[in-house]
Structure 1
Amino acid sequence: MNRKTSFKKKLKYFISREAKKVGLLKTLRSISREKYAEKISASLLYGLLSAIAVNFFFQPGHVYSSGVTGLAQVLSALSQRTLGFEIPVSVTFYAINLPLLILAWYKIGHKFTVFTFITVTLSSVFIQLVPKVTLTQDPLINAIFGGLVMGTGIGYGLRSRISSGGTDIVSLTIRKKTGRDVGRISLMVNGAIMVFAGLLFGWQYALYSMITIFVSSRVTDAIYTKQKKMQAMIVTSHPDRVVKMIHKKLHRGVTCINDAEGTYNHEKKAVLLAIITREEYSDFKYYMSKTDPKAFVSVAENVHVMGRFVDMD
């Protein structure tokens, strides 16, 4: 019985190990069919820009970034004061992200985790290799330009649908489980960073860090437009054709109001309402010009949506 039990355990372990290999191979093959070059380029750009922001602006100015990067700065500063030696920001950044990457592998998806792992690794390597340069000791200038550089990297990363890890993983895990966006996590982490900045270097540096977070978020929003919703109202004589186009090309739903009437020619038309993202707007204009160039189209920007609206991957 003992031999049989031992053999069964070994067989089960072997099958499990081979299944994991097959799963990883499938993930890598599916990635190779996508525009992975664009994602890798975005990971490289984010890694380089985050390193420039940290080593040229944040560290010399004692200014803290948002999210895990700022948390890594805090832990690095605390190690200097409590242990007598400084643990590099690159090491603390990587150490915080490793358990989160394991969580992402099992809870979010393999493809997401692979690209996040690449981004986190490149960021850590660049932060370690890029030398610290003190361009200015003015904390306000460091806060503004550090936020500008970091926000640019985050914005282009999000446009290429890559994640820099950290609080993104926790938020996505909870959103996938509960269906709700969790903004409190970032708020709590950033709040803790501000408190530590104030305690370590003085409360004026906490205010400078708030400026960094504000500038970074504004630049990110300016570059990453996918989350901005737009409402398109289409008055058309060919509703079936337009609806088919929106369904097939943009994968969006449409609300149709039939028997509308133009007051000049008293021609019967249909009014279509569709919610799209700012990222999809150029495609929408192109396909509309091909589908029904005579349609009247009105677009309202930055609309607020209640109910089910799916963000495309």
Structure 2
Amino acid sequence: MKDLEEVLHRYRTLTKLSIALIYAICVSIAVNIFWTPGHIYGSGITGFAQLISTVCGRFFGIGIPVAFLYALFNIPLLILSWKKIGHNFTIFTIVAVVLSTILMRSLHPVKVQFDPIICAIFGGVFNGFGTGLSLKNELSTGGLDIIGIVLRKKVGESVGTINLTFNLIVVIGSGFLFGWIHALYTILSIFINSRVIDALYTRDQKLQVIIVTSHAQTVIKQIQDEMRRGITIVNDVEGAYQHAQKTMLFTVISQYELPTFRQAMHESDPYAFVSITEAKMIMGRFYQEHIY
């Protein structure tokens, strides 16, 4: 058993290191091949580093590489992560930041000028894919992720105001530096980036589930054995067609848990009526598994 745990630990470590490398490649391609040539900025710390690099070069004549600023802005966040989140989590985040810095510095911006819309779309796709894949595999890419996790530990939920504020600064800066059409392209890229992340990282997407079943206790046991979810029971529900007595169950799950839920229903009551809809807002206590 101990040998198996050691093998699994090594597998998880190698997987996270591989994902960190993939993220570094993706963000480097996004910044140097699409965003920088197209005068488009990314979201969060990456976009802020691009913005400061441009301002220093244009107004002060100081050429500061984006990669250097990206690493510099991440240093205080990594210190915060080390103190507030955990050492193991921070070490993998450092690896992701270091690899991204090295590859961004090594891969020079291309000379070929793509259409700005192409730069916005593909920059967002590449960065979103790398970030979403990292989050899906429980790996942080640094930057505002760290602030979000620390705030979630304190207040119990993610706080999007900081991310929105950074992105507004980036968009406004893009407008003043390159014109407002490029600000629009930046908004497009940030939007595509977020949509790609949402497509890959589904842990924060909530679904409301209604189950009508004749085997309530079996279903409840199966779901709670497989998932850490509370369930509300409504007894003595009557079907309008056959007037059969049923039990209605309410619960909320994440999109990430949907395959597990389907399997639990198949094993407990494959003939149950199940309705699944997107939950716009959750108030009250909802168990959220940490990514670290």
1:163: how far off? 1.6
Residue in structure 1 matching 2:222, options 245, 250, 264: 245
Match of 2:229, SS state, is: coil
Quote the residue 1:191 is aligned against.
168
TM-score by length of 1: 0.83
Q: Following superposition of structure 1 onto structure 2, how do residues 1-313 of structure 1 map, counting pairs within 5 Å?
A: 32=9, 35-313=12-290
Task: Measure, in 1, the Cα distance between the counterparts of 2:15 and 2:263.
Answer: 23
- After superposition, the Cα gap between the structure-2 partners of 1:243 and 1:34, relative to the gap in structure 1 and judged at 3 Å, is farther
- Distance in 2 separating the partners of 1:138 and 1:265: 62
Unpaired runs of 5+ residues, structure 1, are: 1-28
Q: CA deviation at 1:67?
A: 0.4
TM-score (norm 2): 0.89
Letter in 1 for 2:122: F
1:190-237 superposed Cα distances (whole Å, 9 cap, x missing partner): 111122222333333222211211121122222222222112211222
Q: Which runs of 5+ in 2 are unaligned?
A: 1-5
Tell me how far apart the structure 2 counterparts of residues 222 and 135 of structure 1 sit (CA, whole Å): 30
Letter in 2 for 1:185: I
Distance of 1:34 and 1:309 partners within structure 2: 30
The 1:234–1:33 alpha-carbon spacing in structure 2 relative to 1, beyond 3 Å, is farther
What is the aligned residue count? 284
Compared CA separation, residues 236 and 86, structure 1 to 2 (3 A): same
Assess if the C-alpha contact under 8 Å between 2:233 and 2:248 holds in 1. Answer: yes
Q: Deviations over 1:95-149 (max 9, x none)?
A: 1101110101111222321222121112112212223223424322211221121
Which range is displaced more, 302-311 or 44-53? 302-311
Contact 1:246 1:253 in 2 (8 A): no
Distance 2:51 2:217 in 1: 57
The alignment-based identity, stated in percent, is 44
Superposed CA RMSD: 2.1
Cα distance change, pair 141–245 in 1 and its aligned pair in 2 (3 A): same
What amino acid does structure 1 have at the position aligned with 2:214?
Answer: S
The residue identity in structure 2 corresponding to 1:91 is F
**Whole-angstrom distance in 2 between the partners of 1:254 and 1:307:** 14
Instruction: Report the alpha carbon displacement of residue 276 of structure 1 after superposing the two structures with TM.
Output: 0.8
Q: 1:69 is aligned with what amino acid?
A: T
- Which stretch has the larger CA shift, 50-59 or 110-119? 110-119
CA contact (8 A) 2:117 2:185 kept: yes
Q: Give me the whole-angstrom Cα distance separating, in 2, the residues matched to 1:107 and 1:94.
A: 20
> 295-304 vs 227-236, which deviates more?
295-304
Structure 1 residues 224-257: Cα deviation after superposition (integer angstroms, max 9, x where no partner)? 2222211221122221221112112111111111
Amino acid at match of 1:94: A
Q: Which amino acid aligns with 1:277?
A: S
Larger Rg computed on CA atoms: 1
Structure 2 CA distance for partners of 1:263 and 1:121, relative to 1, 3 Å: same
- Give me the whole-angstrom Cα distance separating, in 1, the residues matched to 2:40 and 2:48: 12
Amino acid at match of 1:38: T
Task: Give 2:108's aligned amino acid.
Answer: P
**Cα pair 1:231 1:303 within 8 Å, conserved:** no
